[in-house]
Amino acid sequence: MRKLIMNIGLLMVGVMSLGAQSQTGADGYFTIYNNTSNNIVVSFYTNDGDGWSRNWLNEEIYPGEGAEAEFNASTGSCDQYFQVGWLGENDSEVLDEPISIDICDASDIYLDDNEIYYE
């Protein structure tokens, strides 16, 4: 199991293999799923109105993989903007349009080929 921790202001993330038990945003956890056919996630960022975070990831998420993220819901803002970066040509980062997300309600975030949504 891989585990990465990064402190981002009021948020903290741990990235693990999908074997980890799923929890909910209300518990301070959410899971990101890369449901694409052949696109690689190289980054994701959040913004609570104070500017964009650093990249939460330091490992890529390949198609069919996922990552569990942990954050401090008791001190951070639940209302966030969420933006995903994909691996582009020549190892560049291609950013999707940001989406508004209630990170405390999001237990699962799905990254599809032409859509990003959460439950």
| Domain CATH number, residue 88 | 2.60.40
Neighbours of 35 (CB within 10 A): 15
The pLDDT assigned to 18 comes to 41
Q: How many domains does the chain divide into? A: 1
Range of the domain at 25: 5-118
pLDDT in tens, 96-119: 999 998 877 888 889 998 888 888
pLDDT in tens, 9-44: 334 344 444 444 445 555 667 788 999 999 999 998
List, edge to edge, every strand of the sheet that includes 108-111: 66-70, 29-34, 108-111, 116-118
